[in-house]
Amino acid sequence: MSPFRRSNSGDVARERLRVVLMQDRISLAPHLMERMKEDLVDVISRYVDVDRGKIEVQWRRADGEPALVANIPVRSVKRSVASNDRASERVL
Amino acid sequence: MGQSLVITSGKGGVGKTTATANIGAALAMLNQKVVLVDADIGLRNLDVVMGLENRIVYDLVDVVEGFCKLKQALIKDKRVEGLYLLPAAQTRDKTAVTPEQMKNLVGQLKEEFDYVIVDCPAGIEQGFRNAVAGADRAIVITTPDVSSVRDADRVIGLLESSGFERPVLIVNRIKPKMVDRGDMMDIGDILDVLAIELIGVVPEDESILVSTNRGEPAVFDGSSRAGQAFRNIARRLRGEEVPFMNLAEVQGLWGRLRKLVGLE
């Protein structure tokens, strides 16, 4: 292998493909994305009061890696969170 | 009762027709009764790859529309016992046939033949739906490049959602030298992302173009490396355990010598 080569194009191809396929597969199943959003909100709502209508979940690229980025506006934190251990046990 | 296979890829130009011709001929060489069905209506090519273009009288659409009997449209390949071709129509388009009609047709052929191999057109529209309609198993073919593997992934998804439990993969046109240099994805990379079973690896081989020029499938040529790879695939389809070809050998003596003295 030549020492002057920057980076092997085969590796570049593999990485690009990995990201593209992830995005393809998700975009082909938009209902899954919706369901995941609902589930996320359900879990988070046990602890904080969130604004369901304003939730955004998107694919982004962070340092070349695909990442799920969620923006969930919080209205208020529930008072019961700190004291109610049972609730957190149920969640776990 | 035989079985039906569809050879598909999504992307065009990755070797569906070549694979269909060669796997079919190789199965016939293993004493199987084989019929190749060209489902690429409007863009038929299996006939020229097989070298049978001058013997077409009737085609698939004629059969479906009842202009002739199924047997009348079958072209017998005289080079090997038990090999037949059902050509596509050239002057019609994909809408001339429905998936239901294809299913019927393939079902009828399965009664006569051990293997019915359907050459699928590129794309994922009606031509694809027609081609997969009657198939029991699916073979997905890809080349080691980003666009072809991406399309293969899409096709695998479509196959799985139409009830194909375990499509298998052929990686075509591998260039071992480029893989060694790191400038081509290797088989492991491709299997990693597609996550399906591998049934064959076919090296890039000039003899394929020569064989297409002449209309003689490469499996008839004992010295063709690609032909050897396709013969191996046929044996694996028969359920035999055949080790995958050592791709280093494909480079030949000269390539190995160069490597030995550090030129590569």
Residue ranges of domains in chain A? 31-82
Enclosing H/E stretch for B231: helix B225-237
**pLDDT at residue A70 in the model:** 86
**pLDDT at residue A57 in the model:** 82
Residues 6 or more apart from A4 whose CB is under 8 A from it? none
Quick one: closest CA in A to B151, which residue?
A: A21
A8/B181 Cβ within 8 A: yes
**pLDDT at residue B245 in the model:** 84
A66: β partners: A61
Integer CA distances (angstroms), A80 to A47, A52, A92, in order? 8, 20, 16
**pLDDT at residue B215 in the model:** 96
A28/B186 Cβ within 8 A: no
Within B1-145, strands assigned E span: 3-8, 34-38, 75-76, 83-86, 115-119, 137-142
- Locate B151 and state its tokens: 């399309």
Token look-up 């994909």 returns B94
Question: What is the C-alpha radius of gyration for chain B, rounded to an integer number of angstroms?
Answer: 18
How many whole angstroms separate alpha carbon B141 and alpha carbon B119? 11
B185/A17 Cβ within 8 A: yes
Backbone φ and ψ for A7, nearest 5 degrees, come out as -150, 145
For residue A9, list chain B residues with Cβ-Cβ distance below 8 A. Answer: 182-183
As a whole-number percent, the residues of chain A with pLDDT over 90 amount to 8
Question: What is the C-alpha radius of gyration for chain A, rounded to an integer number of angstroms?
Answer: 20
Q: Which tops the pLDDT comparison, A56 or B226?
A: B226
**pLDDT at residue A1 in the model:** 45
Cα B72 from chain centroid (whole Å): 24
Q: Which tops the pLDDT comparison, A16 or B238?
A: B238
- Closest-CA distance, A40 to chain B, in angstroms, reads 26
CATH class of the domain at B3-260: alpha beta
A73, A55 contact by CB (below 8 A): yes
For residue B183, list chain A residues with Cβ-Cβ distance below 8 A. Answer: 8-10
**pLDDT at residue A83 in the model:** 56
Q: Which tops the pLDDT comparison, A64 or B137?
A: B137
B153, B182 contact by CB (below 8 A): no
Quick: pLDDT tens for A69-92. Answer: 888 888 888 766 555 555 445 544
- Closest-CA distance, A23 to chain B, in angstroms, reads 11
Q: How many CB atoms lie under 10 A from the CB of residue B17?
A: 26
pLDDT band at residue A29, thresholds of 50, 70 and 90?
confident
**What is A63-92 written as a DSSP string?**
TTEEEEEEE--EEEE-THHHH-HHHHHHH-
Mark the ranges of chain B whose per-residue pLDDT is less than 50.
none
- Closest-CA distance, A10 to chain B, in angstroms, reads 4
